[in-house]
Amino acid sequence: MVMNSLYECSVAHCRLKPKRHAFNYRVFMFCVDLDELPDLDRRICGFSHNRVNLFSIDDRDHVALGHPGGIRGNLLAWLAEQGMACPNDARVRLVTFPKVLGYGFNPVSFYYIESNSGDPLAAVAEVVNTYREMKLFALTYMGDDGLWHRRVAKNFYVSPFSDPGLEFDFKLGLPDENWRVNIDDYAHDERVLLSAVRGERRDLTSARLFVYAFKYPLLSLKIIGLIHWHALLLWLRRVPYFRKSSRPEAQLDVMRPHSTPKKNIS
């Protein structure tokens, strides 16, 4: 099994309600064994771990609860707090967007936890909003289709145009030669937003990173720019807007909470 690679991906979003709005774009993502980040730092030109480079992965951008062991140690500690203890020799792969020249924004990253022999144990989606708040969603059920499944209350302010009280429906594929992810939003039993990622594996080499620097210039700025551009389009179309302060009861178990103004209920 190839543990470290790149995925060249198409990302698609389609809002179904209250007004239809769809777009898609091309990106690439890293897929790395967390134990091998220091080795990749030494071996791959143009990539660094916890320091600025053309592309980098920084522990501080991911789950950080104050436990030792970097991203891996903090993730496994969080899973243990959820009642899902993993073996000490479990391997953890992270699929994520890199920082570019020291700047990064990861709307969502994915962890795949496997036994040392390669058996899948769990998956975790790490969702981040534009306030840089974070929430983790653990998936422990794999269906006959080979996908990790979970439908769960969002209870997280992801977009001003989506009620934080909606539900996420996760379907996560294993990173192989091809990789797929679907995350849909449900209001009760009605799908209101569809999100999908489709990726094809590429070798992680110094040469390919330099090619991607030109093929996907300023990737992080592209991602955050598209988020704000399409938010503007939705606002201009008068799609209902949810203020972060209006639903504090629907924002639970949030990491790195932002100090937003409280709603005045007097």
**Per-residue model confidence (pLDDT) at position 241:** 84
Query: Whole-angstrom Cα distance, residue 252 to residue 164?
Result: 10
- Local structure of 116: helix, strand or coil: coil
Say if residue 182's pLDDT is above 60.
yes
pLDDT (average), residues 209-221: 93
Contact indicator for 170, 139 with CB cutoff of 8 Å: yes
**Could you give the CA distance from residue 144 to residue 167 in angstroms, rounded to a whole number?**
23
- On whether residue 255 sits in a domain, the answer given is no
- Average pLDDT (121-150) is 96
The side-by-side arrangement of strands in the sheet containing 55-57 is 47-49, 55-57, 99-100
pLDDT at position 81 over 50:
yes
Domain of 147?
Answer: 5-250
* % of the chain at pLDDT higher than 90: 74
Instruction: Choose from 14-18, 176-180, 222-226 the range with maximum mean pLDDT.
Output: 176-180
Query: What span, in angstroms and rounded, lies between the C-alpha atoms of 166 and 154?
Result: 6
> Do the domain assignments include residue 154?
yes
* 188 domain-assigned: yes
Q: How confident is the model at residue 264 (pLDDT cuts 50, 70, 90)?
A: very low
Q: Within a domain: residue 10?
A: yes
Amino acid 247: pLDDT: 84
Q: What pLDDT was estimated at residue 35?
A: 95
Please report the pLDDT score of residue 262 as a whole number. 52
Position 258 in a domain: no
Q: How confident is the model at residue 2 (pLDDT cuts 50, 70, 90)?
A: low
Strands of 21-33's sheet, edge to edge? Answer: 134-139, 120-128, 108-114, 91-96, 21-33, 5-15, 190-203, 178-187, 167-173, 147-153, 141-142
Can you tell me the distance from the alpha carbon of 212 to that of 68, in angstroms, rounded to the nearest whole number? 33
- Of the pLDDT bands very low, low, confident and very high (cuts 50, 70, 90), residue 265 is very low
Q: Is residue 261 part of a domain?
A: no
260 located within any domain: no
Q: How many residues does the chain have?
A: 266
- Report yes or no on 230 lying in a domain: yes
Average pLDDT, the chain: 92
Mean pLDDT of the 56-75 span? 93
